[in-house]
Amino acid sequence: MPTNKTIWITGASSGIGEACAYAFAREKANLILTATRTDRLAEVEQKCLSLGAQCKILTFDLSNLEDMDTLTDNAFAAFGQIDIAYLNAGISQRGKTMQTDFAVDRKIMDVNFFAPVRITKRLLPKMIENGGGTIAVTSSIAGKFGFPLRSSYASSKFALYGFFETVHAEYYDENIRVVMVCPGRVRTQISFNALEADGTKHGRMDEGQQRGITAEKAARKIVKAIKQQKPEVLVGGPELLMVYIKRFLPALSRRLVRQINAT
């Protein structure tokens, strides 16, 4: 990747977002980092600067949809352009459908789906005016098939595919490229920060998550896919086989999903 590319990463204070920030920093990118925790963002910023990047941080809670346009304008103004937006921030879920408060459903949809939608609607005209750009977005294998205890999470990730595949189709000729990032199990804090049915934090690392690949390994594959503008990249381990089972053996997929221990 040429130097001086400007890359905006949401969910940049930990996990996949943090690891991708360091990977891009090594290539001397201009980085805009967004997450909810200023202290953690400042730590990531310092490491990115030490790796040779230029860096700006924008602390923001992506459930605040009303101020999303201002956030996006500030991100664009940080370096005068955005070549790549990696919309990675998200919240997972641990709760059965009937027990999950609607407020939890709404928050998950706001952060995982409506925030990327609102950012993209604001960002697209500016990207097109500047000759194009790449929008990468983190979905999930739970965006490929329903998953126990993840009704809202899976819904938000399914919705991302519908929206961003449409963006890809509509604006391809204006040099807009979309990269769908589809992780399975990656060893991050996503299960720790997942919302229980009543909105409280799950507060622990799930066994399956603990066995996942490292965020650094995931980042290497994701950054490569973004640079190559691949339409989709699957990231994870053996669990990715379920994507292909769903595609080619849907009846078997439904039986297997019913047997998943999702905690």
d(CA 189, CA 205): 7
The catalytic residues are: 153
Q: How confident is the model at residue 4 (pLDDT cuts 50, 70, 90)?
A: confident
Q: What is the pTM of this model?
A: 0.96
> CA-CA distances (angstroms) from residue 24 to 32, 48, 50, 111?
11, 9, 12, 24
Token digits of residue 201: 């934090």
Radius of gyration of the chain measured on its C-alpha atoms: 18
In order of their start, the domains of the chain are 6-258 (3.40.50.720)
Sign of the Cα pseudo-torsion (147, 162, 130, 2, in order) = positive
pLDDT in tens, 10-19: 999 999 999 9
pLDDT in tens, 51-93: 999 999 999 999 999 999 999 999 999 999 999 999 999 999 9
